[in-house]
Chains A and B, each alone.
Chain A
Amino acid sequence: MQKILVMMMAFVLTIAAQAQRDTIGVSKFTAIYRYECKTTDADGQPVTDSMYIAVQTSGGITKSFPYEEYDRQKKGGSRIADGYLAAQMHIGTVFTNYPEGRITTQEMLYPYRYMTDEPLEKQEWELMEGQDSICDYACQSAYAKYHGLTWNVLYTEEVPASIGPWKLGGLPGLITKATDAKGIHTFTLYGFHQEDTPIIFTQYVTWIVPDGHGKFASQRVDYQKMKASAFLAYKKKVLGNSRYMKNPTYYTPDPKTAFGYVENSFNSAGDNISSVAGVVLVSNPRQYQPLELK
């Protein structure tokens, strides 16, 4: 019976997740990037993790978020598990110039979903002479220092959109490839989806969770709001601790003890992902490689 309940709940979790959504624009196209991060696993072995990122833009606003969420959103649903890789690689959903002149970032870090705010700073790009080709687009190169890391990028004026993956942008063309000076982080343009899609901003999410009496209840999960600089300092403290590699939830009580349950659902690859209160649990911790130092 318990097994049936668990299976039912996994099914319910899969399809019944809801969110308070605001459509803040309609993007005429979506750029798809592959994000790679070179790091080490819990055994200290070098690994390169990768995920796909979707970037939408409209009316000066840019949204950069996991491709799986974008794909699921187009089908009218959402799954906790689709944010797993973003949680493991510590890259959030970024709304640039939303609200105007600000950057809003949403990120899962057990046991909360965080929403941070920071001013939209102009990235001072130095345009270079070098040329290359990405996805058959002729590209020029440029570099800039942003939040403590130096980014070397390629951009193409053949796609006149001043956007890029994550928080990068502000060049006279679409960023096609961006790599930090140490070569740890790399974003590479994979291609486009040319169709109108809404840019959705979620105020809070709602998940179906067990109520402790063998039934299920809808639970609203609000974002914890913080300043971006404070959240970055918190991430450095928590994720930079060597204990994180051995136990990714070392800094809080054990999820099962704290919440009384751990749920399982499947992502697009069919992997079983554990979650609690609408936040995924990282099962394959990696050495934290911050995308920004300050």
Chain B
Amino acid sequence: MKRLLYIILYIALAVHASAQVKVTGRVIDLQNKPVSDVIVKLVSGTKTLAFTSSNAKGEYSLELKSAPSGEVTLQFTHISYEKESERLTLKQSGITNPLQRKVDMILTPKSISLKEVRVKAKPLWQKGDTLSHQLASFLGKGDVTLEDGLKRLPGVDVAKSGAISYMGTPISQFNIEGLDLLGGKYNLATRNIPADYVTNVEIVRNHHSRRVERDVPSNEVSMNIKLSKKAKFKPFGQEEVGAGYMEEGNDELQALLGVTGMMFTDNFQTICSLKGSNYKSFARTDMIDHFGGSDVTTPATSLFGGFDGGAPPQGECFYQRNGMATLNGICKLDSNTTFKVNADYSYHRATHDISQSSTYLSGTGDYVTVSEQTSPLSKVHLPKLSMNYLKNADRVYLSETFFLKGKFEQNEGDVNTNGSLVEQRRKTSSFEVGNDLFWMDKTEKGTHRHVNASVSFKRTPTLRLSFVNDGQTYGQTAQSSTLTVNVGSSFNIPIGKTFRLSLPVRVNAMYDDLETERVATGDFNHIQGWSFTPSANPGFEIHSRNRRFYLSAGLGAALKGLYYNKLNYTKPVLNPSMGINYTFSANSKLQFSTGYTTQIGDMMTLLTEPMQVGYRTVRTSSGIIGESNTWHTSGDWKWQLPMQYFTLSLAAAHSEGKRNTLYSQSVNGVDISSSALLRDTRSRSTNFTINSTKSFPSLFAKLGAEASYGFGDSEQAISSSEGAADVIKIRSNNYNLHGNAAVTPITWLELRYDINYGGSQSRYADSKNTVTSLTHSGAIHVFPIATLDLSLDYDHVRRQITTNQYKNMSLFNASAQYKWKQCVFRLELTNLLNQRHYAYTLFDGINTYTYDYGLCGRTSMFRMTFKL
């Protein structure tokens, strides 16, 4: 038996051994030196049977469990040598012992060619939520200011106003070396700091302005600028001076002058600027506050607004004079504490020409058209002072802000309407003084507590609105005072590792005193009293342990109280809301929110005596406290691949609303009056948006595309002279497609192209109005030498005026810019074709408005910028 077992084992071993193959050998070069790291591979057809690499002696050894049938190839590859191969037949009949083959090989050197990259520029770093762009890697030859450079960054958009957004989200904070010097007036930095003084631009996604809230989900985006050594520790700045000529302008001689100085040290930063011009918005754009809050709006100025006439989306229409002076300083008291002072004053005077045709649907079913020509002139002075003390540490946050601001306005502009001339004048001055305090801390256990208190007082001592028509004078006067007090507190307590409970409470109290008197008729309104709204929003937040999933909900309970004159109105309201966030990865996030909001009207609805709000418009409020209920749902998904310079976002939103009053319009001749009827009305709207950007830094190319579609319906009433009212349901939809590209195909040429196609449709009863518009603009920059930028840009607009009527318009601008040492010389030629009109149509429910704006004539400007 044992002998039999031995025989079986021997046979089995023999069979196994007969299948084994071993290939060995040595690889040498032409000098007979061993070659290491040679990849030796045995292949049959396209299939790799075995592989190894040679050692320092050039030796290799390959083993196969079984001999392959047919011919196989032994390949020898090395990055520095020519590829060699040898054909072998390893399966031989009658051989029972393991097959051993020895194959030596001589390799011939070759020159290698790999795809070279330059990592040293390292244009983009990702450190968690921070994307750090090395600005120099993105700059184009013609770029001068920081703003020019920001426009080149992937995912970053800079609007004409200078507003910066990343992936469609406006930035909520703009820092220089980690300090928030300018708040929303960051144009002062982006338009005055030379691009070559900036090393890095950091974009912080999921930004938390309060460090104590770092563990709370955030959708905010902030930007931080890092300066080069030459911009630190010593003052620098720039001086701008220019002169030019405008054809047929109010001021034919154009001029600009500006001086900006700044200094950035570790503990102190300042930017001071003084500018004045009558050329475009030269001094005005630096003072735009992208976060709002610089304006002063009172009940009196809201009721009786100015008549600036608006502006067209393309072309320069304003004849302006503007000036500004600003002083900004921030001092770092310790690593977490700063003290900041911002003081500024700006003035602008603007006038332009506008023809407007308004078509109203009257109660009899007829259309009434009113044609007007006017040249409104407005003069505005805006002084502002604010001081802020901020402590922003990991465990505690304290912000204390005092502000004082004013607005002094003067409007005038005679209007020619359907053949008669009406004089218009408006003059008002307003001021606001206030203080904001916000304190928050975070305990060891992660509980957030906060207290805030703000108080402000704003007043319009006098507002005068006057009209003269055929020697008859009429108008309106008004005054208002408002004292607002807001006090709030909240607790946000973690319970376990995945649950948080929150209880914010808040009290809003507002005292108003508003008087309006209609000149000539003596109609008088006087409202005095309090609005008092205590609210509590108990809620919770659940998140997964890895914090990818968040769900939060709040009850939003409030007690709305209006106690004006003889009115005693108290009503409890609930505004429940819910939000869900899911973070797939650092680059992909899904958000969903839904909420139900109840809004209660304010004291304005008690203005039951007629008010002359325009030369042909009288407004009378119903006296009914309006109530609107809106359910709003929205969701969006963002996918950002910063390292691949790719961003994609999809968004959808839907809202449905119900209101207990209906807006009613009454047309009598050219007089339009409006009021509110006590009747429930409903409205709905739905919107979809998709946008994507992709950059190719190696090609200096940036592409973007955006599409949106929306539809909705609403109701409006038309009152007839007999007092009866017809209710009209209005359905509307709109769409918009937008694409842009910036490409540098060769080093001396840059091309930019932007196309926008949009349409809107409005339907009511048997009427249907459709308008479309196509806008495309482009620019060509040619660099004959690196420091000379010759550019030509154009805007072409094709807009539908009426059903079968279109208007085409082209605007061409050209410029030549030369950089020499610390100077930039620039010649700008605006509106080369001397286009003088821009017209378009808007539908607003049942009314149609057609605007025809006068454009400024051909303008030339030679300006010089000197770095100081």
Contact = CB atoms under 8 A, between A and B. Distances in A.
Interface of A: 28-29, 32, 34, 36, 38, 40-50, 52, 57, 59-60, 67, 71, 100, 127, 135-137, 157, 159-162, 170-173, 190-194, 268-270, 284
B200 A46 contact: no
B79 A160 contact: yes
A60 B79 contact: no
Given A40-B546, A49-B127, A284-B127, A159 B587 contact: no
A157 B41 CA distance: 11
Contacts of A171: 51
25 contacts: A28-B79, A29-B114, A40-B546, A40-B547, A43-B215, A43-B547, A44-B215, A44-B547, A46-B583, A48-B128, A48-B586, A52-B119, A52-B122, A57-B37, A137-B115, A159-B79, A160-B39, A160-B77, A160-B79, A161-B37, A172-B39, A190-B119, A191-B116, A192-B116, A193-B117
Nearest to B79: A161
Nearest to A71: B120
Nearest to B226: A270
Contacts of A32: 117, 119
B53 A45 contact: no
Given A49-B126, A59-B37, A193 B586 contact: no
B775 interface: no
Given A41-B128, A44-B546, A60-B55, 11 more contacts: A32-B117, A34-B643, A36-B643, A45-B129, A46-B583, A48-B586, A50-B643, A127-B48, A160-B39, A193-B119, A270-B199
Q: 8 smallest A-B Cβ distances: which pairs?
A: A191-B117, A160-B77, A47-B128, A192-B114, A44-B547, A48-B586, A172-B51, A43-B215
Contacts of A71: 119-120
Given A46-B585, A161-B79, A162-B53, A269 B116 contact: no
Nearest to B53: A162
Nearest to A52: B119
A212 B116 CA distance: 47
Contacts of B116: 191-194
B547 A45 contact: yes
B126 A50 contact: yes
Contact of B214 (A43, A161, A193): A43
Contacts of A136: 115
B691 interface: no
Contact of B36 (A47, A60, A157): A60
Contacts of A192: 114-117
A59 B245 CA distance: 73
Contacts of A157: 39, 77
Contacts of A49: 126-128
Given A49-B126, A59-B37, A160-B39, A191 B119 contact: yes
Contacts of B128: 41, 45, 47-49, 284
A216 B702 CA distance: 50
A194 B116 CA distance: 7
Contacts of A43: 214-215, 547
A97 to B, nearest CB: 9
B712 to A, nearest CB: 36
Contacts of B83: 160
Contacts of B127: 49, 284
A interface, over-half SS: loop
Which of A46, A60, A136 has the most chain B CB atoms inside 10 A of its CB?
A46
Nearest to B543: A44
B234 to A, nearest CB: 15
Interface string B57-93: 0000000000000000000011110010000000000
Interface string B571-587: 00000000000010111
A24 to B, nearest CB: 12
B39 A173 contact: yes
Contacts of B56: 59-60, 100
Interface residues on B, range: 35 or more
Given A67-B119, A135-B115, A191-B117, A48 B587 contact: yes
B548 interface: yes
Contacts of B134: 269
Interface string B106-149: 00000011111101101001111100101000000000000000
B681 interface: no
Contacts of A42: 214
Nearest to A193: B116
B114 A194 contact: yes
A44 B226 CA distance: 27
Interface string B227-247: 000000000000000000000
Contacts of A59: 36-37, 56
A268 B80 CA distance: 33
Contacts of B226: 270
A250 B39 CA distance: 47
Nearest to A127: B48
Contact of A28 (B41, B48, B112, B585): B112
B206 interface: yes
Residue from B55, B125, B127, B200 with most neighbouring chain A CB atoms (10 Å): B127
A38 B586 contact: yes
A215 B39 CA distance: 55
Contacts of A67: 119
Nearest to B215: A43
Q: In this complex, which of B36, B51, B78 has the most chain A Cβ atoms within 10 angstroms of its Cβ? A: B51
A191 B115 contact: yes
Nearest to A41: B128
A269 B77 contact: no
A191 B112 CA distance: 14
Contacts of B80: 28
B37 A162 contact: yes
Contact of A46 (B77, B126, B214, B547): B547
Contacts of B117: 32, 190-193
Contacts of B113: 194
Nearest to B120: A71
Interface string B633-675: 0000000000100000000000000000000000000000000
Contacts of B53: 60, 162, 170
B79 A46 contact: no
With a 10 A CB-CB cut-off, give which of A50, A160, A192 has the most chain B CB atoms. A160
B204 to A, nearest CB: 12
Nearest to A59: B36
A172 B215 CA distance: 47
B548 A46 contact: yes
A241 B132 CA distance: 30
B126 A48 contact: yes
A156 to B, nearest CB: 11
A138 to B, nearest CB: 13
Interface in B519-564: 545-548
Contacts of B41: 172
Nearest to A192: B114
A140 to B, nearest CB: 9
A134 to B, nearest CB: 11
Contacts of B206: 45
B79 A269 contact: no
A34 B119 CA distance: 10
Contacts of A193: 116-117, 119
A179 to B, nearest CB: 13
